[in-house]
Chain A
């Protein structure tokens, strides 16, 4: 007798293929990060671009209107913008190159074993730990021409007959703020390069020593090439930071005297918070962003391959 055959229940076909589901799951994991990054990075950039197309002066709400590229045309004819751009390059390259050299020297020193190394490491880090505004106030006092530390020391030592106005002279103001910034930035390179030095296998040095390589040769053919990836990344990061870093100059000179220390980021602050011209300040920010993007692409292109030497 034939019994009723039971049909196997059809397997429900999933809505998406297995590969699609895997992809979707992956993207779902990324979603929170994408939302956070979009909200904190992308949205402000798009908002700045949007604002740059408007005449948006807070004290003149009645004049708020779409002006297209008028703010960009104004920027092209703005003498102070071009001066601030030139000053920015002077500020960035003056600061970063000496920060790098100082940081490298400090890293090599701290890599050696000597008594009190922990203390020296801590002291080396101090300028990096102190907030930027406090650093600015300290250096402002050091440079104060009438009762500041530097002039006092120099005149007591007999090396100065006439007091020097370090921050009030257009010729000296920029070098003076750069020195303060070098002091602050040296520890950054010191930490990065010290980490790099500690990652170089000691066997390489031992082998080189056995082969009769001198100290200079070991430095040139082992240390430098092995540090290149860190140097490339640290320098690029520091250049971008310094380009955008306004605290020190803002506190020490406010961009003066006579715009001698006006860099693009302080000029942007001035437009936003003194003139309350948010449209033009946004235009300056977008210009700064494009310049930095261009620089980063250029820098990564000329250093292509160096970061993967190790």
Chain B
């Protein structure tokens, strides 16, 4: 055998040493190896956490991220999908562990908690210089401004309105609710829509999850109640108790709601309407596109929440935010990606696909939103929309769900009066004003 074709031990050792040196050099650039072409900003990829409430969004977001990555070569965006139920915990634990993603998509009611943890990147200077700053609705900025600092970009916005079945209105010879309808009209329609023998109910009330309390609060606001006044919690006022009693009686006394109400969360009310069990329900515009598939585009419409005895009303306005963290590894890249998502095409692609509304006026005023009956109720609610009063304190976020909802359910099933619930709830809120 020709010795020249054999590797000596020395050769092998030399080759191993050389490989070791190269590998060691590469380790220092773990996330962007030295041997590959480097990218700007230290070449760190942007980690984007997306909380998924429905599988449909995965494809949409994947496609947006892919478009962004193809449009520029400076860095890569890596999306991390987390089920919505775990998203808040995951973000908070990653902040605590000192390794949050660069940016994330979350509802505005979580942002206060992150701010309280000192984890947010202050976007104020960047936002003020941003070309679309003036185009974003002022109320949308309110949802993401904490202690005079802009903490996030309002990716999409929405408010609450009432969905109702137009085909069943015709079937039962009923008149469509008008924008200025009242509590009495609401009750009358709910009664007329209730046909127990057909397993149909007038109103799909929500009994589980944070928004069960928030929808009830909107009815309290319609009677002149408030959550906070002069820095004090006043949600247990007489006006609030009266309105809540009226609201709860829809289920307790008038029986215009399905029996599943105490455990009906977001999925329950949307599916109840979609399956034809309920003929009205309150939700944001986020289920409009879904209902087009369920009951058909021509068979439903939306209308603002009814006027209360105090001739007032409120629709809580909130936003799905793009939020960046100050411990992110590529903060500049995160800003570039987030602001790109606010551009015309990606923003329309996201909002139209999900039934949410753009935060930018120039997009929001386009005919596909303004002329669609499925969005009518939400757009007509803008004049009296307010930022949810429960965003006032970060400490309220988790407490509404863990303590407020069980108390609300007690009132719902008759184990406590509306006033007893509100007194206890006010106590919970007062204790957690931080």
Answer whether A256 and B260 are a contact pair too, CB < 8 Å, given A168-B207, A170-B415, A273-B89. no
Whether B83 is near chain A, meaning CB under 8 Å from some CB there, is no
Whether B410 is near chain A, meaning CB under 8 Å from some CB there, is yes
Give residues 30-61 of A contacting B (CB, 8 Å): 58-61
- In Å, the complex CA distance between A274 and B275 comes to 31
Is the beta-carbon distance between B260 and A255 smaller than 8 angstroms?
Answer: no
- In Å, the complex CA distance between A168 and B257 comes to 12
Binds A, one of B74-82, B288-296, B367-375, B401-409: B401-409
Whether B272 is near chain A, meaning CB under 8 Å from some CB there, is yes
Residues of A within 8 A of B409 (CB): 256-259
Which residue in chain A gives the minimum CB-CB distance to B196?
Answer: A162
Whether A101 is near chain B, meaning CB under 8 Å from some CB there, is no
Give residues 142-177 of A contacting B (CB, 8 Å): 144-147, 162-165, 167-170, 173
Residues of A within 8 A of B116 (CB): 59-60
- In Å, the complex CA distance between A211 and B406 comes to 63
- In Å, the complex CA distance between A146 and B261 comes to 10
Whether A283 is near chain B, meaning CB under 8 Å from some CB there, is no
Residues of A within 8 A of B412 (CB): 257-258
Residues of A within 8 A of B397 (CB): 59
Residues of A within 8 A of B415 (CB): 170, 258
Whether A254 is near chain B, meaning CB under 8 Å from some CB there, is yes
The contact of B259 among A80, A165, A259, by CB within 8 Å, is: A165
- In Å, the complex CA distance between A254 and B92 comes to 21
Residues of B within 8 A of A169 (CB): 259, 262, 413
Is the beta-carbon distance between A258 and B208 smaller than 8 angstroms?
Answer: no
Is the beta-carbon distance between A61 and B260 smaller than 8 angstroms?
Answer: no
Is the beta-carbon distance between B89 and A276 smaller than 8 angstroms?
Answer: yes
Whether A262 is near chain B, meaning CB under 8 Å from some CB there, is yes
Is the beta-carbon distance between B405 and A146 smaller than 8 angstroms?
Answer: no
Answer whether A256 and B394 are a contact pair too, CB < 8 Å, given A146-B272, A147-B275, A164-B259. no
Whether B263 is near chain A, meaning CB under 8 Å from some CB there, is yes
Residues of A within 8 A of B259 (CB): 145-146, 163-165, 168-169
Whether A217 is near chain B, meaning CB under 8 Å from some CB there, is no
Residues of B within 8 A of A80 (CB): 406
The contact of A163 among B89, B118, B199, B398, by CB within 8 Å, is: B199
- In Å, the complex CA distance between A244 and B347 comes to 46
Q: Hey, what's the 0/1 contact readout for B194-210 against A, CB within 8 Å counting as 1?
A: 00100100000001100
Give residues 164-208 of B contacting A (CB, 8 Å): 196, 199, 207-208
- In Å, the complex CA distance between A144 and B415 comes to 22
Whether A270 is near chain B, meaning CB under 8 Å from some CB there, is yes
Whether A242 is near chain B, meaning CB under 8 Å from some CB there, is no
Answer whether A275 and B398 are a contact pair too, CB < 8 Å, given A59-B92, A59-B116, A146-B260. yes
Whether B117 is near chain A, meaning CB under 8 Å from some CB there, is yes
Whether A271 is near chain B, meaning CB under 8 Å from some CB there, is yes
Give residues 202-235 of B contacting A (CB, 8 Å): 207-208
Answer whether A270 and B413 are a contact pair too, CB < 8 Å, given A146-B275, A168-B207. no
B81 → A minimal CB distance (Å): 19
Residues of B within 8 A of A144 (CB): 260
Is the beta-carbon distance between B402 and A146 smaller than 8 angstroms?
Answer: no
A268 → B minimal CB distance (Å): 12
- In Å, the complex CA distance between A58 and B262 comes to 30
Is the beta-carbon distance between B402 and A274 smaller than 8 angstroms?
Answer: yes
Answer whether A59 and B394 are a contact pair too, CB < 8 Å, given A254-B208, A257-B262. yes
Whether B162 is near chain A, meaning CB under 8 Å from some CB there, is no
- In Å, the complex CA distance between A146 and B272 comes to 8
Which residue in chain A gives the minimum CB-CB distance to B116?
Answer: A59
Q: Hey, what's the 0/1 contact readout for A258-279 against B, CB within 8 Å counting as 1?
A: 1100100000001101111000
B306 → A minimal CB distance (Å): 24
Which residue in chain A gives the minimum CB-CB distance to B278?
Answer: A146
Interface residues, chain A, CB within 8 Å of chain B?
58-61, 80, 144-147, 162-165, 167-170, 173, 253-259, 262, 270-271, 273-276
Question: Can you identify 5 A-B contacts, CB atoms within 8 angstroms?
Answer: A253-B263, A256-B208, A257-B208, A258-B406, A259-B409
Q: Give the 3 A-B residue pairs with the shortest CB-CB distance, closest first.
A: A165-B259, A257-B262, A258-B409
